[in-house]
Structure 1
């Protein structure tokens, strides 16, 4: 299935994506409901197919716990960051993943306008990432069985305040948790439709210029390994969201460094899933709906 969350007639709904149209589901508003009871994925017999122009796209999931994240999970991104970490991480390729989290208030929709937070940071940066949604919880999950715990995949951007990452003792939580800094969506593709998370092209553009482009085949730690490592001694729950790391091409690693500015448009795309389209505005204090359209599929 390809699932989307949307607002229509002032109600949050879930729907199935069919050829860029939306077929509303009957009486379901949150993805966690479908994860718990898959049999509730029943099309509403009274509802017509909807176009994107008729709805407001919402975050495909509202996480109930912090969004879990992975640092330095592409070799070229690890390499581009050497010398710029200032004590924040290892100087040699890690043997185990680096984990951190983003607060739930960071989550925004695929087409929302996002706050620049200019009063707090001058170094807001982009990080396109494949996001995993857990369907079956567990602890001490074996890597060989880890993908059976996945419900589906979506697109995220781990927008990061680089100066705040360093200002708080090289501890990333604050710099990663400003409101509206994790657009998520536009759809969730379930595992029956997306079988191999290690074979996807991933890309980020800023104002139409390609800043990041790679394939998830180049992740240092696979999705299965990440789930296995994260679950060691720590229970993962249905509906948990895991961001699996970003490719090279971040603004902080460029010469000279380049950061987001008022009016910049960030487009984040993953093959087989879809794309985010987010405008960054200094005038905003929180993520704000826009009428900008997003792609519900990317080849």
Structure 2
């Protein structure tokens, strides 16, 4: 199933995509994709649900995200372009949940931003509490997958001291969606193509098989240190092709357009604004 939320910010309704790619309203079945619902997602026939007319805004596919956990340098070729060693354990940092926006909402560069950057990633949404889980059982705790865009401000992240979170957590720096795709539609999360285009030019191309740590390894690893709860989102790392890795570096500017895709998970499209334009 491909679940989603549609409507204006703060007024989203739950929906599901039918076989023709149209949105069907799920409001008669559930109130929203809350953590409780993610533990028992509805099994419905979309064709029997009301058709949503027009082209509404697509929102974040899950409501009330508790934690937004990110894994750094999780593609060996991205670590190489960053000039960093391939990690021997997952590099973990947090992204503020206030950064989360819909898949096609603008990316707004904060005041003082000079090194905004892009990172297409596979997002994992937890559907069942996970604590001390094994790799063998880890994927049983997944509600679904989505595209995650880990937008970054490299000066904030690298040159301001401390940890990476401050360069990852600016408002609008966490587009998620468009869909929450259930695991039955993703036979192997370690064989998904990812891409990102900037102004129509391909910047990132990769496949999740290049991950240093698999989705199952990441979930198991995190669960040894923190309990993962329904609605938590994990961004699993990005392939090479980020702006910081170019010679010379190319950073985001107002007016840029970003188009992201992950195989089986749909597409995102964002226009870049400066905070004074928002």
- TM-score for the superposition, normalised by structure 2: 0.92
Deviation track 1:198-222 (CA, whole Å, cap 9, x = no partner) reads 1110001110110000111111110
- Say how many residue pairs are matched: 274
Q: Distance in 1 between matches of 2:137 and 2:40?
A: 21
Are the equivalent residues in 1 in contact too, given 2:116–2:153 (CA < 8 A)? yes
Q: Distance in 1 between matches of 2:11 and 2:36?
A: 16
* Structure 2: stretches of 5+ with no match in the other structure: none
Partner of 1:87: none
Partner of 1:295: none
Matches within 5 A, 1:1-299: 1-7=1-7, 11-18=11-18, 19-25=20-26, 26=28, 27-39=30-42, 48-51=50-53, 53-82=54-83, 91-117=84-110, 119-282=111-274, 284=276
Give the deviation of 1:32 after TM superposition: 2.5
Instruction: Describe the SS at the equivalent of 2:38.
Output: helix
Distance change in 2, residues 1:179/1:228 (3 Å): same
Distance change in 2, residues 1:232/1:258 (3 Å): same
Q: Distance in 1 between matches of 2:60 and 2:90?
A: 27
Deviation track 1:44-65 (CA, whole Å, cap 9, x = no partner) reads 96x63125x3422111123432
Instruction: Describe the SS at the equivalent of 1:130.
Output: strand
Q: Distance in 2 between matches of 1:200 and 1:107?
A: 23
Q: Distance in 1 between matches of 2:190 and 2:42?
A: 29
Q: Distance in 2 between matches of 1:105 and 1:11?
A: 17
Distance change in 2, residues 1:43/1:29 (3 Å): farther
Distance change in 2, residues 1:226/1:172 (3 Å): same
Give the deviation of 1:33 after TM superposition: 4.1
Are the equivalent residues in 1 in contact too, given 2:198–2:257 (CA < 8 A)? yes
Q: Distance in 1 between matches of 2:276 and 2:267?
A: 22
- TM-score for the superposition, normalised by structure 1: 0.86
Give the deviation of 1:95 after TM superposition: 1.4
Are the equivalent residues in 2 in contact too, given 1:156–1:268 (CA < 8 A)? no
Distance change in 2, residues 1:246/1:141 (3 Å): same
Distance change in 2, residues 1:222/1:139 (3 Å): same
Q: Distance in 2 between matches of 1:75 and 1:107?
A: 27
Distance change in 2, residues 1:170/1:32 (3 Å): same
Instruction: Describe the SS at the equivalent of 2:78.
Output: helix
Structure 1 runs of 4+ off > 4 angstroms? 39-45, 283-286
Are the equivalent residues in 1 in contact too, given 2:3–2:179 (CA < 8 A)? yes
Distance change in 2, residues 1:22/1:31 (3 Å): farther
Instruction: Describe the SS at the equivalent of 2:35.
Output: helix
Instruction: Describe the SS at the equivalent of 1:202.
Output: strand
